[in-house]
Amino acid sequence: MLGQRCHAIRGIHGHQGLITVHTQGTIEAEIDNLGRHLIAVHWDTGLQMYVFPDEIEIHQTMEEWHGDSPLMHDPIIRQDRQ
């Protein structure tokens, strides 16, 4: 996941400010903290913040974007929280 592009699927409030829906960024790290999985994103707006997996959609890389299934033609994979 590191280095992959993503975008916010809803507004995200953080200590640095607000990330609006559809803002894009690059994943920089993943951590588990107190039983929570967090993803560090460097947003195109210049902000950097940790988000939960259900707050973003990860863009598929061209290498991953293959297959004959109609679902595989969508270049975005939804990261659902389990």
> Which helix (H) or strand (E) segment is 66 a member of?
none
Partners of residue 4 on adjacent β-strands: none
**Mean predicted confidence (pLDDT) in 19-47:** 96
Q: What is the pTM of this model?
A: 0.73
pLDDT > 90? residue 40: yes
- Phi then psi dihedrals of residue 70, to 5 deg: -55, -30
Q: What percent of the chain has pLDDT over 70?
A: 73
Domain membership of residue 74 as a residue range: 5-78
Domain count, the chain: 1
If pLDDT is split at 50, 70 and 90, which confidence band does 79 have? very low
